[in-house]
Amino acid sequence: MKNIPVIMTIFGGSGDLAHRKLYPALFNLYEQDLIKDNFAVIGTARRPWSHDYLREQVMDAVHENNKEVDENHLKQFASHFYYQSHDVTNTEHYQAIKDLANDLDSRYSAQGNRIFYMAMAPRFFGTIATHINDQKLIGSGFNRIVVEKPFGRDLASASELNEEIKASFNENSVYRIDHYLGKEMIQNILPMRLSNPLIKNIWSGEYIKNIQVTLAENLGVEARGGYYETSGALRDMVQNHIFQIITLLAMGEPTALTSEAIHAKKQELLDSMVIPSADEIKTAFVRAQYAGTDDTFGYLQEPNVAPDSKTETFAAGKVKFTKGSLANVPIYFRTGKKLREKKNRIDIVLKHMNNLYGQAHSNNITIIIDPKSEIYFTINGKRISEPGIRRENLAYEFSDYENSLVPDGYERLLHDVFVGDQTNFTHWSELAKFWEFIDAVEDAWQGENKTIDKLIQYPQGKLGPKQASEIFETPTERWIYE
């Protein structure tokens, strides 16, 4: 599909996300002719910018991202951008956006199609959605809304926001972004699982002992302490990215590779997601904050963080389902800041099998998501000159060339919004289930009847607190990545 006619409004056009991710991604889509002559973008923000100033910003953003750019193309591309200053609560500003969009629609023959991108602080999402409805910003063609994370901070606030959005957009027009779903190795989970008999046939509790998902960051909260204080590791990483990864690992085989069929299978699985009891949360979940050192701040000393903050920068826990091929198989997760290195990985740990050769090592399938794309199997083989078993890796790592072909997650997901493909976005019913789970954990951690009072401090540069190694169901389990 090429040259999609549309007027796109980016709320938060002067922000970090628009600059670093959205403008470069839109340029790449323009270079692929997905958007060409019949599109225009309205950037909105509080500052009194001109159209020309926004265009300069857009060109700077593309330059910062691409080494080789055809300057004529870039100028042509930037000429499609228009600026409208905007304060979220000012009704007149929505009227101005609407008039500009209608004007641009005639000029670019955009056929009444509209995309609204919420690239602003989440507290504004509901107000913007309500004004889009009240001030009738909806066009006569397709209308789609892209909503950044976090979508709510618990089930109640997410439901409220969803109602506000539903006033103008039905579920098929809502694109809840989870940029992990745009990552190469995450999009590779289903093809890898389902297209190889070796993997497909062992994907069950008969062979899989447990699965481990690790999303480790080496950075701290940096300048984002203010935002992080309203969130924490559980809401920032588990509620969305980790739960989507786990869903892709445990869902059944869809009947077709369509958005409907894939979301139907996800939902079937999530209907059987076990919401943990307070006792389980006590034994199988860990929350912690990074401690300071002589040279570096701990979380509590970071700018815009309350000195007595209870916000966790590390979370570990366990997810189980009662249905599907992985029914009752524990899926452990952990995520945190200021850990040893940036590493996003999935380890599928196979059960020990009695065999004639005695004690074999555990066999695993590992998927490295970041910082590079890699898959490896650990397998057992004979030792060369002595009895016993040795362990080997069968590895497949993307070449530099393959890596250069991988588009940024935002480019992929924006492409999908333009063509109307919701496969890699979060449906409301999935999100509601994820929040139900998170609410149960938050309640046990911080609610009125909290059962777990203590927030652990963990040293920087390691893989989190030692208590994260005590969440396993049996003594024979341990983190494969340590």
Residue positions forming the annotated binding site? 46, 87-88, 149, 179, 183, 217, 236, 337, 342
Q: Which stretch binds ligand NAD (CB under 6 A): 114-122, 214-222, 374-382, 437-445?
A: 114-122
* CA-based nearest residue to 407, from 15, 28, 11, 20: 28
One of 86, 241, 263, 427 is an active-site residue; which one? Answer: 241
Q: Which stretch binds ligand NAD (CB under 6 A): 9-17, 341-349, 390-398, 474-482?
A: 9-17
CB of residue 42 to ligand NAD, shortest distance in Å = 13
Token pair 């996800």: residue? 266
The H or E element spanning position 106 is: helix 91-108
Q: Rule CB under 6 A: is residue 119 a binding residue for ligand NAD?
A: yes
Q: Rule CB under 6 A: is residue 225 a binding residue for ligand NAD?
A: no
- Of 5, 7, 8, 15, the residue at the interface with ligand NAD (CB under 6 A) is 15
For the four alpha carbons of 431, 432, 433 and 434, in that order, the dihedral sign comes to: positive
Token pair 């190469």: residue? 184
CB of residue 224 to ligand NAD, shortest distance in Å = 8
String of contacts with ligand NAD for each residue 444-473, x by CB under 6 A: ------------------------------
**How many residues interact with ligand NAD (rule CB under 6 A)?**
18
Q: Rule CB under 6 A: is residue 132 a binding residue for ligand NAD?
A: no
Q: Which stretch binds ligand NAD (CB under 6 A): 14-22, 109-117, 367-375, 413-421?
A: 14-22
Q: How far apart are CA 284 and CA 441, in angstroms?
A: 11
Q: Please indicate whether residue 51 is annotated as part of the active site.
A: no
> Which two tokens mark 102?
């209608």
User: Please, what is the Cα angle at 311 between 435 and 290, to 5 degrees?
Assistant: 125
Q: Rule CB under 6 A: is residue 271 a binding residue for ligand NAD?
A: no
For residue 115, how many other CB atoms are within 10 A of its CB? 23
Q: Rule CB under 6 A: is residue 220 a binding residue for ligand NAD?
A: no
Give the DSSP letter of residue 49: -
Q: Rule CB under 6 A: is residue 120 a binding residue for ligand NAD?
A: yes
Amino acid in the structure at residue 330: P
Give the residue with the Cβ less far from ligand NAD, 191 or 371: 371
Helix 428-446 to helix 259-270 angle (10° resolution) is: 30
Q: Rule CB under 6 A: is residue 16 a binding residue for ligand NAD?
A: yes
Q: Which stretch binds ligand NAD (CB under 6 A): 13-21, 201-209, 286-294, 421-429?
A: 13-21
Q: Rule CB under 6 A: is residue 86 a binding residue for ligand NAD?
A: yes
Helix 23-31 to helix 51-65 angle (10° resolution) is: 80
Give the residue with the Cβ less far from ligand NAD, 151 or 321: 151
- Beta strand pairing status for 143-147 and 114-118? parallel
> Which two tokens mark 106?
């005639």
- Beta strand pairing status for 143-147 and 174-176? parallel
Q: How far apart are CA 72 and CA 188, in angstroms?
A: 36
- Of 4, 6, 17, 129, the residue at the interface with ligand NAD (CB under 6 A) is 17
Binding-site members for substrate are 179, 183, 217, 236, 337, 342
CB of residue 14 to ligand NAD, shortest distance in Å = 4
Q: Rule CB under 6 A: is residue 45 a binding residue for ligand NAD?
A: yes
Q: Rule CB under 6 A: is residue 222 a binding residue for ligand NAD?
A: no
User: Please, what is the Cα angle at 265 between 264 and 271, to 5 degrees?
Assistant: 90
Give the residue with the Cβ less far from ligand NAD, 49 or 479: 49
- Of 9, 97, 110, 148, the residue at the interface with ligand NAD (CB under 6 A) is 148
Q: Which stretch binds ligand NAD (CB under 6 A): 70-78, 81-89, 129-137, 278-286?
A: 81-89
DSSP string across 156-181: HHHHHHHHHHHTT--GGGEEE--GGG
* CA-based nearest residue to 185, from 346, 18, 378: 346
Q: How far apart are CA 55 and CA 53, in angstroms?
A: 5
Q: Taking phi first (over 0 means left), then psi (-120 to 50 degrees means alpha), and beta for anything else, what does residue 422 get?
A: alpha
Q: Taking phi first (over 0 means left), then psi (-120 to 50 degrees means alpha), and beta for anything else, what does residue 33 get?
A: left
Q: Which stretch binds ligand NAD (CB under 6 A): 16-24, 137-145, 283-291, 466-474?
A: 16-24
Give the residue with the Cβ less far from ligand NAD, 149 or 318: 149
Q: How many helices (H) and strands (E) does the chain have?
A: 18, 15
Partners of residue 378 on adjacent β-strands:
393
Q: How far apart are CA 124 and CA 118, in angstroms?
A: 9
- What order do you get walking across the sheet with 6-11 strand by strand? 81-85, 39-45, 6-11, 114-118, 143-147, 174-176
CB of residue 150 to ligand NAD, shortest distance in Å = 6
Q: Rule CB under 6 A: is residue 206 a binding residue for ligand NAD?
A: no
For residue 325, how many other CB atoms are within 10 A of its CB? 20
Give the residue with the Cβ less far from ligand NAD, 26 or 120: 120
Residues in the chain: 482
Q: Rule CB under 6 A: is residue 280 a binding residue for ligand NAD?
A: no
Q: Rule CB under 6 A: is residue 149 a binding residue for ligand NAD?
A: yes
- Of 3, 37, 46, 73, the residue at the interface with ligand NAD (CB under 6 A) is 46
Q: Rule CB under 6 A: is residue 123 a binding residue for ligand NAD?
A: no
The catalytic residue positions are 241
Binding site for ligand NAD (CB under 6 A): 12-17, 20, 45-46, 86-88, 119-122, 148-149
